[in-house]
């Protein structure tokens, strides 16, 4: 069976890219990364792709006078590589509505909060400032509105006494590295269908345990 062709879009260190690279190295993983694309020439994640022998491309957003022109170049490259699923992994550019709509239900994102809480940037500092006891991450399909779209998977992570933003971020990131490859697997296996604002996953049992923090 043909593996689903992925493009991973990054802007920085590429830790979730590496998690996807590691997952795709397994012979039974139903997806392969055929392109890693960055809007920043110095993105550390490009080295992860090069080490794995994955083609990379840089589309420097500073070279484009308008977002639409930048997005058009992304679209051209993605289609030229036969991409079937776009994975945003720390890609720090807002995409135009036209681009998002062109890739509807074929583009996913990972966000370091339990959406719909703490959309946007500085999620961990904001979560700590709000005094939440549980943080986490979300993989979701992309929609024109920022950090909106049908949710595929979430992981809840306890906030511990003494946490600062960096400590909480590290704990959430470990959960991200588990969630993103799982979400891609479900899509590649054809188990995901969209019903309005929900993503339904065939053959997956929901978790029934409860995370209580602080514990009794």
Residue-wise pLDDT for 152-192, tens only, equals 999 999 999 999 999 999 999 999 999 999 999 999 999 99
Phi and psi of 61, rounded to 5°? -65, -20
Alpha helices in the chain (DSSP H): 15-24, 45-51, 67-80, 97-102, 123-130, 165-188
- In this structure, is residue 74 part of a structural domain? yes
Catalytic residue among 48, 61, 81, 111: 111
33 inside domain: yes
Q: For residue 214, tell me if it sits in a domain.
A: no
Last residue of a domain, one of 103, 132, 150: 103
- Per cent of the chain over pLDDT 70 is 100
Residue 143 and residue 71 in one domain: no
Banded pLDDT at 216 (limits 50, 70, 90): low
Residues 20 and 92 both lie in one domain:
yes
Same domain, 33 and 91: yes
Q: Are residues 68 and 121 in the same domain?
A: no
Pair (2, 99) in one structural domain: yes
Question: Does residue 66 have a pLDDT over 70?
Answer: yes
Residue 48 lies in a domain: yes
List the domain range (segments joined by +) for residue 129: 110-206
Same domain membership, residue 82 and residue 140: no
Euclidean distance between CA atoms 44 and 40, whole angstroms: 9
Query: What is the average pLDDT value for the chain, to the nearest integer?
Result: 96
pTM: 0.96
7 with 87, same domain? Answer: yes
Are both 38 and 88 inside the same structural domain?
Answer: yes
Say whether 209 is catalytic: no
* Residue 113, CB-side half-sphere exposure with 13 Å CA sphere: 19
Domain boundary among 71, 103, 135: 103
């Amino acid at each position: 069976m043909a593996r689903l062709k992925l493009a991973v879009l990054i802007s920085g260190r590429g830790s979730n890219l590496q998690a996807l690279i590691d997952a795709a190295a397994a012979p039974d993983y139903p997806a392969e990364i055929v392109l890693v694309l960055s809007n920043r020439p110095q993105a550390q994640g490009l080295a992860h792709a090069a080490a794995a022998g994955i083609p990379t491309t840089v589309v420097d957003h500073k070279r484009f006078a308008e977002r639409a022109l930048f997005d058009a170049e992304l679209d051209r490259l993605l289609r030229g590589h036969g991409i079937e699923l776009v994975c945003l992994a720390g890609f720090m550019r807002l995409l135009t509505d036209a681009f998002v709509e062109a890739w509807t239900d074929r583009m996913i994102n990972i966000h370091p909060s339990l959406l719909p809480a703490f959309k946007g940037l500085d999620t961990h500092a904001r979560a700590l400032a709000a005094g939440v006891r549980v943080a986490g991450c979300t993989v979701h399909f992309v929609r024109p509105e920022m950090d909106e779209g049908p949710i595929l998977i979430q992981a809840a992570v306890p906030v511990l006494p003494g946490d600062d933003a960096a400590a909480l971020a590290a704990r959430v990131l470990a959960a991200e590295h588990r969630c993103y490859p799982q979400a891609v697997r479900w899509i590649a296996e054809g188990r995901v269908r969209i019903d309005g604002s929900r993503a339904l996953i065939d053959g997956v049992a929901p978790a029934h345990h409860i995370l209580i923090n602080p514990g009794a």
